[in-house]
């Protein structure tokens, strides 16, 4: 069994690493806050003092961190993975990041005699817990085939997309589709509330028809319960949509729907909800008469111009 290194034990990473450990792979972990690793360490994982130390002892290194700048530091920094990876090592970055950065990482890994894959995921905290993620993979095909059994421990659907950067481009497609869907379900709920309908009854009716979606099934019940705990952070979704918007602009592609949803989520973050889950967009659409817990140090309201 390959010794696998795992960097990033956040909302999703901790569960993903746990599946690898449960399958019997020797697991080495690193995260900026060691307390997040304690449960895995108690189950037999080994702690590494730095990304470089982890890379020196592992045949496969998986990273899933917050932002592209975090990827650059952890992977390409002086004390990062690539600088210390051994020949033959395969790096799998599962962070949603920039396609051009994925290409740079692939080139840097090749110079060290290793290979790199960009393999962002979709499915949120629930998909991570249930090993039901959708994983989109770019990079060398032979590296993909080597690590496919490992990826299948974390995901229900693992699809090879093409050369380096292709996984990230596919994730941009995913986030563009998710953005429009989130706006749609929130506006549908707002309409239901304003017309006096019971939103729970509406959900029962429309989720089984053409309006049905993952967000409708899994996130709308959270919205209605006032549960805005993060399965996927608002701030990370803003990051993803901004990257997609930039990539679309580089292609000369006009995506007004994406721009609208990005604007609305930035508005939500300005209200202080950037650490909520993406379902918190519903806060901007709650029916009149429902109290929204505005932050005391903010005077802005959803109807105010930004």
d(CA 121, CA 144): 15
The yes-or-no answer on residue 239 being catalytic is no
The gap from C-alpha 137 to its chain's centroid, in whole angstroms, comes to: 14
Residue from 170, 166, 109, 173 nearest 139 by CA: 166
* Per-residue tokens: 267: 């508005």
- The residue to which tokens 């995506």 are assigned: 255
Phi, psi of 299 (to 5 degrees): -105, -10
* Both structure tokens of 250: 């580089």
124-154 b/e with 16+ CB inside 10 Å = b?
A: bbebbbebebbbbbbbbeebbebbeebbebb
Helix intervals (H) in 164-273: 166-194, 199-206, 214-218, 220-224, 234-250, 256-270
Helix or strand (DSSP H, E) at 141: helix 141-151
Residues in the chain: 306
Q: Distance (Å, rounded) from C-alpha 275 to C-alpha 291?
A: 20
Token pair of 224, please? 């209605």
Q: Are 4 and 59 in contact (CB under 8 A)?
A: yes
Question: What's the token pair of residue 167?
Answer: 């996984």
Find residue 90's DSSP bridge partners: 60, 115
Instruction: Tell me which of 14, 36, 171, 239 is the catalytic residue.
Output: 171
| Residues labelled catalytic | 171
């Amino acid at each position: 069994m390959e010794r696998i290194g795992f960097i990033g034990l956040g909302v999703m990473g901790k569960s993903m690493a746990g599946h690898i450990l449960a399958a019997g792979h020797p697991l080495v972990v690193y995260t900026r806050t060691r307390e997040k690793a304690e449960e895995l360490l108690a189950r037999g994982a080994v702690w590494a003092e730095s990304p470089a130390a982890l890379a020196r002892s592992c045949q496969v290194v998986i990273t899933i961190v917050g932002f592209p700048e975090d990827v650059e530091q952890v992977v390409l920094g002086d004390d990062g993975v690539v600088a210390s990876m051994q020949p033959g090592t395969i790096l799998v970055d599962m962070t949603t990041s920039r396609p051009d950065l994925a290409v740079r990482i692939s080139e840097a890994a090749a110079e060290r005699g290793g290979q790199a894959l960009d393999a962002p995921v979709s499915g949120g905290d629930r998909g991570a817990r249930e090993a039901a993620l959708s994983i989109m993979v770019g990079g060398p095909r032979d590296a993909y085939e080597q690590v496919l059994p490992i990826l299948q421990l974390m995901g229900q659907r693992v699809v090879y997309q093409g050369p380096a950067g292709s996984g990230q481009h596919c994730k941009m497609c995913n986030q563009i589709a998710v953005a429009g869907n989130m706006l749609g379900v929130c506006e549908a709920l707002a309409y239901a509330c304003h017309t006096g309908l019971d939103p729970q009854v509406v959900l029962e009716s429309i989720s089984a028809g053409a309006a049905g979606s993952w967000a409708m099934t899994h996130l709308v019940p959270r919205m209605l319960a006032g549960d805005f705990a993060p399965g996927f952070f608002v701030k990370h979704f803003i990051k993803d949509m901004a990257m997609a918007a930039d990539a679309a602009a580089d292609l000369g592609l006009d995506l007004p729907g994406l721009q609208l949803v990005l604007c609305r989520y930035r508005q939500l973050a300005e209200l202080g909800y950037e650490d909520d889950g993406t379902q918190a967009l519903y806060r901007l659409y709650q029916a009149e008469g429902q109290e929204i817990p505005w932050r005391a140090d903010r005077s802005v309201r959803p109807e105010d111009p930004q």
